[in-house]
Amino acid sequence: MGLTIKPVTPLIGAEVSGVDLGNLSTTEFEQIESAFADSLVLFFRDQPLTVEQHIAFGARFGPLHHHPANGDFTDTQNLPPEILRIHADANTQRIAGDTWHSDVSCDFEPPAASVLKLSVLPPEGGDTLFANMYAAYNDLSEPMKKMLDGVTATHDGGPNYRDRARKAGLPLPDKEYPCHSHPVVRTHPVSGRKALYVNRAFTQWIDGIPADESRSILEFLYQHTTKAMYQCRFQWSVDAIAMWDNRCTMHHAIWDYHPHVRSGHRVTVCGDQPR
Ligand code: SIN
């Protein structure tokens, strides 16, 4: 039957079927790359990939990233360093990704893409929301676009990752987490399109303006970027995979399933310095 691509909304997300990600032809890979550029987030069902196959699939998109907080508050189960274990159970006090964010935007070169596979799911819930940051940028007024042009913001991993350790009842990790400034509006290195690039999890302030102005502008941008029309919602199934472009989307994992278990693995593709 071949590979089929079915958009989830006009603005974001597509479900891809008729493909085995563990055994992908060059043509299928190219179709996936093209669908990824169009839809920003792709969903695949029934992909029981081994850890090695998951790593191999991610690595087709570029070198793989090592998460700066990997192992600080989750048991890595001796998995390869390219794997970030995503796990929540009855003892969890805070899950990964429970706020709108773009993965590790605090890095100097934040990840380009993430590929998450879930293998254990709660009976209901545990969906993930995704939002299109190109569309959010496009819809800003011209005066607002002009004001944000050339402005940077500081993204710090410390507050987010230390809070996770604190909530897990662990000693605060004695290490520096990445903290870097990035443009509030970035240009995607492949599409050349502009996308908003601030998020509640990592962005601390807009550089070089008074704190109250920074707070108000960021709050406006957070409200704006998370409007329902920019979003799609993925309802997971066992061995489903979601793959998203961190350079032009944000996502939010919904924790509505406590005390049930939700578990899986993520591989993350390295990106470049936002410009
Ligand atoms: C994440 O990678 O931010 C977690 C997403 C999820 O668990 O749905």
Residue 31 within a domain: yes
Residue 275 within a domain: no
Residue 208 within a domain: yes
* 255 phi and psi angles, rounded to 5 deg: -105, 80
Q: Cβ contacts of residue 266 below 8 Å, gap of 6+?
A: 83, 84, 85, 86, 114, 115, 116, 117
* 41 phi and psi angles, rounded to 5 deg: -140, 130
Integer Cα distance of 159 and 122 in angstroms = 28
CA separation (Å) from 42 to 14, 115, 215, 247?
Answer: 5, 9, 33, 14
Residue 41 within a domain: yes
Write out pLDDT tens, residues 1-10.
Answer: 699 999 999 9
Residue 220 CA to chain centroid, in angstroms?
21
Q: Residue 70 has what pLDDT?
A: 87
Residue 245 CA to chain centroid, in angstroms?
7
Ligand 1 shell residues, CB under 6 Å: 86, 96-97, 103, 114, 116, 128, 251, 253, 266
Q: Band the pLDDT of 72: cuts 50, 70, 90.
A: confident
Residue 274 within a domain: no
On the question of pLDDT at 96 being above 80, the answer is: yes
The answer to whether the CB of 115 falls within 8 A of the CB of 57 is yes
Integer Cα distance of 135 and 191 in angstroms = 14
98: burial class by Cβ within 10 Å (0-12, 13-18, 19+)?
middle
Write out pLDDT tens, residues 226-267.
Answer: 999 999 999 999 999 999 999 999 999 999 999 999 999 999
Determine the atom of ligand 1 nearest the C-alpha atom of 97.
3
Q: Whose alpha carbon is nearest atom 2 of ligand 1?
A: 97
- pTM of the prediction? 0.96
Find the domain containing 199 and state its range: 4-269
Q: What is the CATH number of the domain that holds 259?
A: 3.60.130.10
Integer Cα distance of 158 and 177 in angstroms = 5
Quote the number of domains for the chain. 1
The distance between the two most distant Cα atoms of the chain, rounded to a whole number of Å, is 58
In DSSP terms, 4 is beta-bridged to 17
Q: Band the pLDDT of 60: cuts 50, 70, 90.
A: very high
